Structure 1
Amino acid sequence: MPDAVVIGAGPNGLVAANVLADEGWSVEVLEEQDEPGGAVRHDNKVDPDFTNDLFSSFYPLAAASPVLAGLHLERYGLRWSHAPRVLAHPLSDGRCAVLGRDLDDTAASLDVFADGDGDSWRELHRVWEKLRPDLLEALFTPFPPVRSGARLAMRLRTAGGLRMARSMITPVRRLGEEEFRGEGGRLLLAGNALHADLAPEAAGSGGFGWLMSMLGQTYGFPVPVGGAGALIEALARRLRERGGVLRCGERVSRVVVRQGRAV
């Protein structure tokens, strides 16, 4: 009987299994599908010479995650690749809102739409840099994030306070109109909010648009070299090296609990 059974060999399950194995636990991962990965997979069925990511395809939160960084997956074959620019929103009149990993690059593209919009972007980035350490810790530590949440609340008081808190729950369409005079900045915020499957009028979409935009500004939207599944291959290889077991084609129908323990 292993110390822990992880149900599902998607990225979250494999990260959890690796962290437990690092703590000396014996771990077994059960996956219903014939291969691990969940929504992080690729294949070559379109053309043998073309690698196609099947579901998710870029990973800013993986690049930002201190947990993933601590696994040192580069030792197990994972390499990240960045496009020359993070993303772009071209318009039919030839203008283009560009998110680059260089702050000046992004700001310059937004000033084309309206003078001063580059400085508005810099202000959003300034707030991000002030909140980033505690915000990321809150995202990547067990829930509820008590310590990081308390520090984040303190930082909010000095980083725009109520205005920033309001922005996090504001619909992204309204946030864009309040922050930018031109279309460029609004396009970057709204386009990034849509990655969270939130409509531009949805409450909270402003916060997600800001978060995804700032992640892209700081970490880019990297992709694993060789396809999305390279991330999963590195996680699985690392787990097996630490004695973990990964079994695919194994459906879990229920969890049996006896005397407060899953058996």
Structure 2
Amino acid sequence: MPDAVVIGAGPNGLVAANVLVDAGWSVEVLEAQEQPGGAVRSDRGVHPDYVSDLFSSFYPLAAASPVLARLDLAAEGLRWSQAPSVLAHPLPDGRCAVLERRTADTAAGLAEFARADGDAWQDMYEVWSRVGPELVRSLFTPFPPVCAGLRLAARLRAAGGLRLARNLALPVRRLGEEQFAGEGGRLLLAGNALHADLAPEAAGSGGFGWLMSMLGQSHGFPVPVGGSGALTAALVSRFRRRGGVLRCGQRVASVVVRGGRAVGVTTAGGEGISARRAVLADTSATALYRDLVGEEHLPGRLLRDLERFQWDFATFKVDWALTGPVPWTAPRAAAAGTVHIADGIDALTRFSAQIAMGQVPDEPFALLG
């Protein structure tokens, strides 16, 4: 009987399993698919000469994560790769907003859109330098992040307090208009907000656009050497080396509940596995509560909340094997590992509005890596 059963060997399940084995727990991870990794997997299915990431590809939050840092995945062979430039947003007229590896280089490029925008970017990054580390810690702390939140509050006061809080709550279109005179800085913020599926006019999208932009400036948008599957392989190797058990092709059908506590799981094959201390689920909220736990074990308020559950809009991914470099009309885009394709902020708004109306966008926002 393991101390904990983890449902799902996606990145969150594997990280949780590693944290628990480090704490001395015995842990068994059950994964429905034949391979671990969830949306962090890669293969050579497009072309035998190339490794393609099946789902996600670049990981600024992983690079910044204090949790992953403590796991020391480099000891398992994980290496990160960075493109010469972090991110680019080219425009049809040949101009290009570029998030460079060095802050001064990003600022110099934005100054080409408007002279004052280089200083505006430097000022924005200076604020991040003061509050960013505590903000990232609070993101990776169990909710509510009391200790990290107190430290963050102290840093926020020193960095402008209510003014900064207001900026982070703004729609990213408004934040960009207030911070930058030219289009370049506005494009970097708004394009990065779309990484979180937030429209330019959505409340709080300014905070996410700022967060992703500043993470890109401080940590880049790194990719694992050998493809995203290398990150999963490192997590699996570390987990097993420390005594954890991972079983793939084992779909969990239900969580066993007794006396109001989760005490184990039952697989689709009828196997019962008891857990001495905990059951963790790396699944969607709806799958966990409705399918695995069952509504009969849940309070009515939670069930009413589930009726209001809203998924992010859908995305799709296409992989190509190329015979040569992409012939960008904006040459500076060629050095970037991530490229945003949209003809300005208005195009991002149009795309988001069509999604909100249930339409397939006629000119989709493309995020190319």
TM-score (norm 1): 0.98
Q: Distance in 1 between matches of 2:224 and 2:154?
A: 36
Cα displacement string for residues 207-237 of structure 1 (whole angstroms, at most 9, x for unaligned residues)? 0000000000000000001110100000001
Q: Distance in 2 between matches of 1:235 and 1:248?
A: 15
Structure-2 residue corresponding to 1:104: 104
Cα displacement string for residues 75-127 of structure 1 (whole angstroms, at most 9, x for unaligned residues)? 11111000001011112222211101201010000000000101111111111
| 8 A contact 2:111–2:117 mirrored in 1 | yes
> Partner letter of residue 176 of structure 2?
G
Q: Distance in 2 between matches of 1:72 and 1:154?
A: 30
Q: Distance in 2 between matches of 1:255 and 1:64?
A: 33
> Partner letter of residue 23 of structure 2?
E
When Rg is computed on C-alpha atoms for both structures, the one with the higher figure is 2
Structure-2 residue corresponding to 1:62: 62
CA drift at 1:53? 0.8
Detail structure 1 runs of 4+ shifted over 3 Å in the superposition: none
* CA distance 1:45–1:261, shift in 2 (3 Å): closer
Gaps of 5+ in 2: 265-369
Structure-1 residue corresponding to 2:114: 114
> Partner letter of residue 107 of structure 2?
A
Structure-1 residue corresponding to 2:138: 138
> Partner letter of residue 47 of structure 1?
H
Q: Distance in 1 between matches of 2:116 and 2:53?
A: 38
Q: May I ask how many residue pairs the two structures share in their alignment?
A: 263
TM-score (norm 2): 0.70
Q: Distance in 2 between matches of 1:134 and 1:88?
A: 27
Structure-1 residue corresponding to 2:187: 187
CA drift at 1:261? 4.6
RMSD of Structure 2 on Structure 1 (CA): 1.0
SS at match of 2:93: coil
Q: Distance in 2 between matches of 1:253 and 1:205?
A: 37
1:40 paired to 2:43: no
Alignment of 1:141-160 (within 5 A): 141-160=141-160
| 8 A contact 2:255–2:262 mirrored in 1 | no
Q: Distance in 1 between matches of 2:157 and 2:72?
A: 35
> Partner letter of residue 262 of structure 1?
V
Structure (1 or 2) with the greater helix fraction:
1
CA drift at 1:169? 1.3
Gaps of 5+ in 1: none
CA drift at 1:141? 1.2
Q: Distance in 2 between matches of 1:203 and 1:165?
A: 12
Q: Distance in 2 between matches of 1:76 and 1:43?
A: 20
Structure-2 residue corresponding to 1:206: 206
Alignment of 1:1-263 (within 5 A): 1-259=1-259, 260-263=261-264
Structure-1 residue corresponding to 2:327: none
